[in-house]
Structure 1
């Protein structure tokens, strides 16, 4: 996925202000930054949330123009968003949702068989330490925060996207749940999979080692490095970044 000079507004206010990023297969990128600098806006805009207006730039996925696609077309093309606050959907079981999502990316007549689906679902739920009865509960209905986050990772593991965007997937997780979620992400690592992790905390990156860490401020990426950059942010905060770049940043958006 290649993002070039992306600009995104909400209610007339520009939030993402010329962001550039390229994620290749096999790479895990992490974006960190203070509150209000556009991280979650970026995630929502990439998946086509209707409240966010893309006013400039381009997003390409494997040579296709993402911005010309509807939300379902982006998912079918191989994009996936693990949401910070997943919606509850009554009347649709977890298993039915997952099987429909998998089949939506397959040609007619090539749908996954029920037995293969059940075997894969049981295996992935085992990795994530998800009780088997959760497959038959309505999607996210009555789930705890930790269960919702594990369920988002389960969806990613079953759907097998080309690009996954994880929007603060670690928020609200205790250390044991964090390790389980990280295990699921690490199982996905291969040359056909790229991942963008949006997080406030370096602790997640102790368990999912990123290839690149980016700092986002004032709607754009202002600094990039390796995992040591996240470690410095954890130890020193963001003031040194602002000082180094001579920035005065409004982070109320």
Structure 2
């Protein structure tokens, strides 16, 4: 039995005619939580967008495999149907579409199965309760008038509803207070199991206080330059990224 979920080999990505990822390698297996940390401009969000094939980001070379299938040529919606999910750093407001209807449409589109409305409604109510989202938000337009924390929690609600094989969380903790970060961490723990994987992209260690990641990677200048366990995140918290930048410069 092969547990491989994602395998990124020598990935080079450019945006606005500038090479950002410069030969990145990463492998995630089922049941694992990975964390990528790095300074501003290192390429963290570029990696997230490249994995979902945002057209703004052009692949120069390298391969992306998902469950041992090369997905280089697959479009964003095709990758999503394979089981990839991306929570956005800056979630968009979508007037005219309620949270509930958006999630129903996304659920049907992602797995292609007939929606079981009763089970869907029960699961939605339970997940909203766990994430401390008022039930009334289900009938509000998606992210319209939501605070930053509410938007981020809504992204986690989408993850729990869609139940992807690999969840990529792009700075789901940025701009949140301690209580909101704790709720986001709780949602990640609710989602994570032996059959899926999580890739957390973050600037700081607050979100990790309530999680136990399997691997922490340091991304500097378009490459992963160091991989370790949770203690690596603590080292970064105490000393910053300067030592890693110096290693790249050498």
Partner of 1:251: none
Return the offset for 1:164. Answer: 0.7
How many residues get paired?
A: 245
1:86-97 pair list within 5 angstroms: 86-97=91-102
Is the CA contact (8 Å cut-off) linking 2:220 and 2:248 kept in structure 1?
no
**Alignment partner of 1:216 is 2:216:** no
Cα distance, 1:105 vs structure 2: 2.6
Alignment of 1:69-148 (within 5 A): 69-107=74-112, 110-148=113-151
Give the distance between the partners of 1:211 and 1:202, measured in 2 at CA: 14
Distance in 1 (alpha carbons) for counterparts of 2:54 and 2:231: 33
Indicate whether 1:19 and 2:24 are aligned: yes
Q: Does 1:187 align with 2:190?
A: yes
SS of equivalent to 1:26: coil
Measure the CA separation in 2 of the matches of 1:10 and 1:24. Answer: 28
Provide the C-alpha distance between the structure 1 equivalents of 2:22 and 2:248, rounded to a whole number of angstroms: 18
Aligned to 1:105, the other structure's residue is in SS state helix
Instruction: Tell me the residue number matched to 1:151.
Output: 154
Computed over aligned residues only, the root mean square deviation of the Cα atoms, in angstroms, reads 1.1
Whether the 8 Å contact between 2:91 and 2:143 is mirrored in structure 1 is yes
SS at match of 1:2: strand
Q: TM-score, normalised by structure 2?
A: 0.95
CA 1:30–1:246: 2 relative to 1, 3 Å:
closer
> Distance between the aligned counterparts of 1:209 and 1:83, measured in 2?
22
Task: Give the unaligned 5+ runs of structure 2.
Answer: 1-5
CA contact (8 A) 2:220 2:244 kept: no
Which string of whole-angstrom CA distances, capped at 9 and with x for unpartnered residues, describes residues 106-158 of structure 1? Answer: 34xx3121111100100110110000000011111111100000000000001
Q: 1:246 to 1:171 in 2, by over 3 A?
A: closer
1:64 corresponds in structure 2 to 69
Task: State whether residues 225 and 248 of structure 2, in contact with CA within 8 Å, keep that contact through their aligned partners in structure 1.
Answer: no
Find the aligned partners of 1:215 and 1:246 in 2 and give their Cα distance.
11
Question: How far, CA to CA, are the matches of 1:208 and 1:50 in structure 2?
Answer: 32
Secondary structure of the 2:111 match is coil
TM-score by length of 1: 0.94
Aligned counterparts of 1:157 and 1:169: Cα–Cα separation in 2:
14
Q: Which residues of structure 1 form unaligned runs of 5+?
A: 249-253
Secondary structure at the counterpart of residue 30 of structure 1: strand
The one of 193, 205, 222 equivalent to 2:208 is 205
TM-superposed deviation, 1:46? 0.9
Q: Distance in 1 between matches of 2:149 and 2:51?
A: 25
Contact 2:99/2:138 (CA < 8 Å) preserved in 1? yes
Q: What secondary structure does 1:129 align onto? A: coil
Quick one: distance in 1 between partners of 2:20 and 2:216? Answer: 20
3-state SS of the aligned residue for 1:68?
A: coil
